[in-house]
Each structure stands twice: as C-alpha cells, then as structure tokens.
Amino acid sequence: MPTLAETLERFTAKGELYEKIDGNRIRCYACGHCCPIPDGAVGVCKVRFNRGGVLRVPWGYVAGAQCDPVEKKPFFHARPGALAFSFGMLGCDLHCSYCQNWVTSQALRDPEAVSPPLQASSKELVHMALRQHAEIMVSTYNEPLITSEWAVAVFKEAKAAGLMTAFVSNGNGTPQVLEYIRPWVDLYKVDLKSFDDRHYRKLGGRLQPILDTIRALPKMGIWLEIVTLLVPGFNDSEGELRDLTEFISGVSPDIPWHVTAFYKNYKMTDPSDTSPGDLLRAAEIGRRAGLKFIYAGNLPGMVGDLENTYCPDCGTLLVERYGYHIRRYRLSAGGSCPSCSRAIPGRWAETFLAQRTDRPHIQRFTRA
C-alpha cells in the first residue's frame, strides 16, 4: 500500500513559481514563506518539492469538489445567488489549530489527516461545473496559493467557458504569485485571522505578507472580500479589532468585512464559542473604523441586520439574507441602489433571476 506522500508524488507537474538559487537549490514563490528548498526536500506546505533542481507541484487531482452557494465562500458582493463550483486539493502553508478543513489542509503534516486524491482534469472540472449550471469556479478548502499552477490551468478552461473564478485563501501571498494568478482570478477572499504578528506566528505564518496581499488585490482589479473568524480570547480584543478594521478601511472602506463565529474545532477546544453579542461588538468597532459593508456570519437569524446589504448613503435594504439564503434582492441592474442610484461596489449580475441553491451538494468522482 503506497503512503499518501508516495501517492501524491504521482500527481505533480513541473512548477512555474520558483527560481534557482545555487546548484540544485531553488526558492519557491507560491506563498509568503518563500521557502529555499534543497534537492530532495519539501517546502513548509509539504506538497511542493525539489527533484533534481526542479520544483514539482500538485497537479491533476482534487481532494474533493462541491457546489456551494456563492454566499458560503463567503462572497456577498459577487453574483448573489450564483452557484460556485468549489474544488480543493491537499496541504497548507499554515497550521491553524482551529482549521475546519484540517483533514485536507493538514495532509502530510498531521498523520490523522488522510484524504486520498481523486484524479481529475481541468476540462472535467469545468464540464462538471457547467452541467450543474455553476457560474463561478472556486479554488478553496485547502490553501489555493500553494496549488496556483493547477488553479490557473483550471481557471483558463473555466474562463474560456464563460465562468468567473475565485480564490478562497489565507492571503499569504507574494508579488510573484499574485502577478501569476492576476489574469485568471476575478474574486478573492482573504482570511485576515488576526492583526498581531505574534498570533500569526502561532498559526505558522506572518502578518506582513497578508497585509501586502490585501493592499495589492484591489490595485490589480481583483474583487476582494475579507473574513475574520472571531475567536474569543485569541483575536477579539478591542485594540486588535480596531487596528484590523482601521487597516481594511484604510485600504478601502468599500471592502466587505465578514466577521464570523468560531466554534470548537480540531485542536482548539479551549475558547468558548463566539456569541452573537461578540459579533455585534466587533461589527460596531468596524463601523467606527469607517467600513461600509459589515456582515456577521455563522449565526443565522441571531445577528440583527448584519446579514443584509444596505445602501451606505440612504440606508435602503438591498439584499436580505438568512444564512446563505437570499430572501430579497432589490439592487438595480448592474448593482446600484434603487432609491438613490448610488453604485454599490462589487461584481453584480445585470439581472437577478433566482438563487440556484442555499445549500451545498457534493460532487462524485472515481477514486484514483
């Protein structure tokens, strides 16, 4: 029986995001770690490795795929109601102790995380998406930056077929990887997990590359939404939330900020679950920082009006939601307020007909 590492080695291709350092040593630029990798070694993510001075990267498989409402990613200002065909691979450059997708993201790092790859071609994935009437192809579940070459291969097919494309990412990027994906990615969600570098180091990363990614994406014309999972006692102090939301607002007050509820998961079982009151307090801090679009997630029906979109100028209700479900949609064609005509930032459809689904459904593959 081959090990997971041996199986995964079959599903690789020559990477593009690296350079030679000296001899057979190379440096990978797919994420903010910028790992120097000697011949025969793997990067921090465990899924990109050096073979004879050539970077091998994940290719030709998924760990799973699912059709999600776009609201689940979450994108609230991009094609509301659309179906997002979502695929993930294996591995991550971080090791968050509360990861909800740890079985796939911590592959090759945590021996308990075992999820075999399912062979797939980019054409096949796009075909499946079209068959389901999806409008968006999303690289998600594990960290998409570390599998950027494969995502770009899939997104080239997806865009040729008229689909939008998205990354759901921790944002630990580099200028090189962002330039590489730029022509192929329309939407980008960054998890801004904290505003304290010491906290980021506990998760296996650094704050600075994430901030750089957040500054770069809007300049590149990629639509950005930010999520902060509010973990009591970890990232929810008044000062940290003030700094975090003032930073986002300084990049642009139009960036939607989703502050979402934590529940005990994986190795993080000490903090209490986030309460509706915690989310309301965080949202108020965000409002004081000047953010115009703040959403509270993971506690449907318990957070007042924080699931809805309102016009920041006249207060008109534009999109009413309950969890992932759209109850009412009142934006004018192309995304403006029907009362005062203010343009609402986002990537809106010309017309909204109906939401495709408000719950995910899993796609079936044959095992490799």
What is the contact surface with ligand SF4 in residues (CB under 6 A)? 28, 30-31, 33-35, 43-45, 48, 93, 146
CB nearer to ligand SF4: pick between 8 and 30: 30
Tokens 């080695």 locate to: 9
Q: Least distance to ligand SF4 from the beta carbon of 35, Å?
A: 3
Phi-psi region at 283: left, alpha or beta (left = phi > 0; alpha = psi -120 to 50): alpha
Contact 141, 101 (CB under 8 A): yes
Beta-strand pair 257-261/294-297: parallel
CB of 126 to ligand SF4, least distance (A): 25
**Contact predicate 165/82, CB 8 Å:** no
Nearer to ligand SF4, 143 or 307 (CB): 143
Q: How far, in Å, CA of 279 to CA of 282, rounded?
A: 5
Which residue type occupies 17?
L
Helices (H) and strands (E) in the chain, counts: 9, 20
- Asked if 229 contacts 191 with a C-beta cutoff of 8 angstroms, the reply is yes
Measured from the CB of residue 334, what is the shortest distance to ligand SF4 in angstroms?
Answer: 38
Q: How many CA atoms does the CB half-sphere of 266 hold within 13 Å?
A: 16
Is the CB of 59 or the CB of 310 nearer to ligand SF4? 59
Task: Report, in Å, the least distance between residue 30 CB and ligand SF4.
Answer: 4
Query: Smallest gap, in angstroms, from Cβ of residue 167 to ligand SF4?
Result: 14
One-letter identity of residue 231 = V
Closer to ligand SF4 by CB, 28 or 166: give it: 28
CB of 98 to ligand SF4, least distance (A): 20
CA–CA separation, 317 and 329 (whole Å): 9
Nearest-approach distance from CB 31 to ligand SF4, in angstroms: 3
> Cα separation of 270 and 284, whole Å?
26
Residue with tokens 């593959």: 365
Closest residue to ligand SF4 using C-beta atoms: 43
CB of 86 to ligand SF4, least distance (A): 20
Question: What single-letter amino acid sits at 45?
Answer: C
Q: Name the residue nearer to ligand SF4 (CB basis): 173 or 256.
A: 173
Question: Least distance in Å: CB of 93 to ligand SF4?
Answer: 4
Query: Would you say 81 or 171 has its CB closer to ligand SF4?
Result: 171
DSSP secondary structure code for residue 271 in this structure: S
Nearer to ligand SF4, 180 or 348 (CB): 180
Beta strands 64-69 and 136-139: pairing type?
Answer: unpaired
According to DSSP, residue 219 is labeled H
Give 87 or 329: the residue with its C-beta nearer to ligand SF4.
Answer: 87
CB 363 within 8 A of CB 73: no
**Alpha helices by DSSP H, 117-202:** 122-131, 148-160, 175-181, 197-202
Q: Which is nearer to ligand SF4, 32 or 64 (CB)?
A: 32
CA distances from 286 to 226, 249, 253, 282, 322 (A): 12, 8, 10, 6, 21
185 vs 230, beta carbon nearer ligand SF4: 185
Question: Mapping DSSP to helix (H, G, I), strand (E, B) and coil, where does residue 36 land?
Answer: strand
* Residue 87 Cβ vs ligand SF4, minimum distance, rounded to whole Å: 18
